Amino acid sequence: MTDLWTPEARFRIWFEIEAHATDALADLGVVPREAAQALWDWWNTARAASPDGEAPIDVAAIDAIEAVTKHDVIAFLTWVSEQVGPQARYLHQGMTSSDVLDTCLAVQLARAADLLIADLDALLAAIKTRALEHKLTPTIGRSHGIHAEPVTFGLKLAQAYAEFARNRERLVAARADIATCAISGAVGTFANIDPAVEAHVAAKMGLSVEPVSTQVIPRDRHAMFFATLGVIASSIERLATEVRHLQRTEVLEAEEYFSPGQKGSSAMPHKRNPVLTENLTGLARMVRGYVTPALENVALWHERDISHSSVERYIGPDATITLDFALARLTGVIEKLVVYPVRMQKNLDRMGGLVHSQRVLLALTQAGVSREDSYRLVQRNAMKVWESDGELSLLELLKADPEVTAALPVEEIEAKFDLGYHFKHVDTIFARVFGTTG
């Protein structure tokens, strides 16, 4: 991902755009065929002579020219002309700088999206593996951070899988939206360049044609792209935060892998801290921070201004590189996540069976007790368990409550404390998420 944003990579994309445009102009008879061929001859010769097979770009020389011209595209064109010779005078015919800059950025963001989609695929595979592993591992579900009802750890991961699968779909759509080419000349009217040139360059660069570019590609496309990255970052933080909570000493149902020789604290040798997921939380904040500038870039003056340019030179590489790193890190966290089923069961049992209160409530209503009275009967016993910090048993208290047993036989009350009851539809949920029950 980092290589995609180097000056060398950017200038190589610029050259391809210019050379493909010159090819199309030659096909139209606007410039000599030899001019287009001269560009490719130099390019291919330079690549053949390079150890890495890439045409060498003298960034320092281009920067030196720009120090005088104060214009990056002109500096690049001047440098290319120095390499190619007289035939380079036909370069950039009828084009404007935005044709090169915006089309290049579209190429970079599309290629960045491809890398991020691959990252998401790796993350999805890791989550699915662990979800299937723990499909029926009982654990407590929490609302407001408080014990609610039983779930499975596999269901927690299935939720994350579904969320990241949606993110993948969003990113695929955002990639299609951003991958557009604009070679329309000054103010986007094609007055000095034929639309066929744009179509040719788009095909060669793997882009679609921008219907109306006004000289720049409309920035609503970029805003949606970076907003999508922000949503993905928020999903990363959601899963990272879940791990952080589960790793708390009082919970300790799962934790990040702690490698041999790893140290958690400079002061306290016992510490095993959730440093990776805390890091992911911070990285998510950074990626989301790039969304607002992208949204503010949408409102440009008339057919173009360059208020967006400085912003995009920051957020393009920063957002994609940061998210690339974060997705890879989260994948590693999930692959190596240490899960403690015994502790999960212990936490489930910690509050004396309170997690089964709803089943008793419903049974009482079905037995003819009003909902208000049913709630009162269950709650008055549940509060005794709560206040005893789980030392008392909700089941035993209910069995000893004459108002409850008047409506429900003891054996029916006991049946409402069956943990497996809560998991009867896990296969259905897994089939919805993964297309299989595993």
**Count of Cβ atoms closer than 10 Å to residue 149 Cβ:** 16
Concerning whether 265 is annotated as a catalytic residue, the answer is: yes
Contact predicate 410/396, CB 8 Å: no
Rounded Cα–Cα distance for residues 427 and 300 (Å): 52
Yes or no: say if 5 and 321 are a contact pair by the CB < 8 Å rule.
Answer: yes
368 near 374, Cβ under 8 Å? Answer: no
Own/partner pairs, 54-63, CB within 8 angstroms, 24+ separation: 54/8, 54/12, 55/12, 55/15, 57/7, 57/8, 57/11, 57/12, 59/7, 59/8, 59/11, 62/7, 62/11
- Would you say 279 and 329 are in contact if contact means Cβ atoms under 8 Å apart? yes
Q: What is the DSSP letter of 188?
A: G
| Contact present, 5 and 182 (Cβ < 8 Å) | no
Residue 147 bears catalytic tag: no
Q: Which residues of 79-95 are buried (b: 16+ CB within 10 A; e: fewer)?
A: bbeebbeebbebbbbbb
Contact residues for 237 (Cβ-Cβ < 8 A; gap 6+)? 280, 281, 284, 285
Percentages helix, strand, coil for the chain (3-state, rounded to 5) are 70, 5, 25
- Long-range contacts of 310-313, Cβ-Cβ distance < 8 Å, separation of 24 or more: 312/105, 312/222
DSSP three-state, residue 149: strand
Instruction: Give φ, ψ of 183 to 5 degrees.
Output: -130, 75
Residues 207 and 106: beta-carbon distance below 8 Å: yes
Structure tokens given for 392: 């008392």
Which helix H or strand E contains 333, and what residues bound it? Answer: helix 307-336
Query: Which candidate in 50, 265, 307, 310 is catalytic?
Result: 265
Catalytic pick among 143, 144, 266, 302: 144
* Alpha-carbon gap, residue 167 to 164, rounded angstroms: 5
Q: Which residues are catalytic?
A: 144, 265
